[in-house]
Amino acid sequence: MPEPAPIYNARVDMTDLEAAFDFYWRILAVDAPRPEHDTQFHPDRQWRADFLWRDHRVIVECEGGHWMSTGKFGKGHGHPARFEEDVEKYNAATALGYRVFRCTTQLLQENPEEFISLIRQSMEGA
């Protein structure tokens, strides 16, 4: 297995899904640029991208907790209020010229190679 790329701007408090994506990126995209993590991407709003390649205009959003929907705003992305907020954020990112990829646990468990490959292909077209 190839040696992982050096850690770049990674936080200690990544979610399990973010850590899994970061792991797969480091071992399957060794020669690719490292993303910024949990970084503001919008010039006017406080929206943050889970993973951001600013120069390539690519964002990966980890969609964890989509089954949790308790409380006023819920903890997971599946709660109606959170879902609407996410849609607004993704649309704004797209309007700014970013390609937004949504990552789930199942997607990484079933075929991480294909997901990483899609992101890399989009970066080559940037």
pLDDT of amino acid 27: 95
Per DSSP, 55 falls in state G
Distance CA 68, CA 71 (A): 10
pLDDT for 103 equals: 95
Per-domain residue ranges of the chain: 16-124
Q: Please give the pLDDT value at position 74.
A: 47
Contact partners, residue 19, CB within 8 Å, separation at least 6: none
The CATH class, in words, for 16-124 is: alpha beta
Residue 57, both tokens: 């205009």
Q: How far apart are CA 47 and CA 3, in angstroms?
A: 33
Question: pTM for this structure?
Answer: 0.80
Q: What is the pLDDT of residue 98?
A: 97
**pLDDT in single tens digits along all 126 residues of the chain:** 555 544 444 556 788 889 999 999 999 999 999 999 999 999 999 999 999 999 999 999 998 765 444 544 445 555 567 788 999 999 999 999 999 999 999 999 999 999 999 999 999 875
